[in-house]
Amino acid sequence: MASINLFARLTNLWQGFLSLWIQDIEKNHPEIAYENAINSLTEKYAKLKHATAAIIRRRDEIHRRLEEEEHTLARIKQDLETAVDTNQDDLAMILIQKQEALEAVIDDLRREARQAESDAEDAKAALLNIKSEIDKLKAEKNRMLAKMQSAQARLKIQEQLDGLSVDAEVRALDAVRDYVHNVVAEADLAKEIQHSDLDTRLAELRKQGQRVSARAKLEALKKARQAAAQQAARTL
C-alpha cells in the first residue's frame, strides 16, 4: 500500500514537473500554446459533434415513432367508430383498451420528444459555441503572433540601436583631426621658422649697415680733421 502511495506521489510530481516544463515552452513559444488550445478544442468539438449527431438521431427516431403511433391511434379511433356504429361492442371494448394504452405511449413519446428536442438544441448551441471559440482563438492567434513579431522586431531594432557604438567612428575622426592639426601646426612652424630666419638675417643686415655707416662717418671725420690740419699748416 505504501509503495502504491509513493508511486502515485512520484507520478503526480513528474506530472507537475512536466506541466511546468510545458508552460515554460508555451511561454517562450506562444504559437505552440495557441495550437495546443486550438487542437484541444477541436478534439472536443469532434467528440461533441459525434454526441450531437447521436442526440439528433434519437430525436428524429422519437419523432418518427411518435408519428407512427399517432397514425396508429387515428386508425384505432376510426375502427372504434366503425365498431360502435355496427354494434360490435366486444370489438369496441378491445379498441378502447388499445386506444388508452396507445394514448399513454404517445404521451410518453411526446415528453421524450420535447426532451430530445431540448437536448438537441443544447447540444447544437454547445457545438456552435465551441466552433466560435475555435474561430476566435485562430483569429486571436494570428493577431497576437503578429503583435509579438512586431514587438520582437522593435526590440531587435532597439537592441541594435542600444548596442550601436560611435566610439570607433569618433576615435577615427579624432585621429584625423589630430593629424590635420599636426599638419597645420607643422605648416605654421615652418612659416614661423622662415619668418624667424628672415628676421634674423634682416637684423644682421641692419647691424652690418650700421657698422658700414659708422665706418663711413669715421672715415669722413678723419678726412675732415686731416683736411683741417692741412689747411692750418698752409696758413702758417
Query: Alpha-carbon distance 28 to 131, whole Å?
Result: 27
* CB of 36 closer than 8 Å to CB of 26: yes
For the stretch 46-92, pLDDT in tens is 999 999 999 999 999 999 999 999 999 999 999 999 999 999 999 99
Query: What is the spatial distance between Cα 127 and Cα 46, in angstroms, rounded to a whole number?
Result: 9
How far is residue 84's CA from residue 131's CA, in Å, rounded to a whole number?
Answer: 59
pLDDT value at residue 5: 55
Cβ neighbourhood burial of 119 (10 Å; 0-12, 13-18, 19+): middle
Q: Which residue is associated with the grid cell 394504452?
A: 101
Diameter over CA atoms, the chain: 219
Q: What is the pLDDT of residue 207?
A: 76
Q: Please state, in angstroms and rounded to a whole number, the distance separating the CA atoms of residues 173 and 37.
A: 57
CATH code for residues 29-154? 1.10.287
Q: Where are the domains of the chain?
A: 29-154, 174-236
pLDDT < 50 stretches in the chain = 2-3, 6-7, 10, 13-26
pLDDT for the residue numbered 219 = 79
Read off the pTM.
0.51
Pull the grid cell for residue 124: 447544437
pLDDT at 233: 74
| pLDDT value of position 18 | 38
The whole-angstrom separation of Cα 113 and Cα 123 is 15
Instruction: Answer for the pair 83, 95: CB distance below 8 angstroms, yes or no.
Output: yes
pLDDT of residue 25: 47
Residue found by looking up cell 404521451 in the block: 107
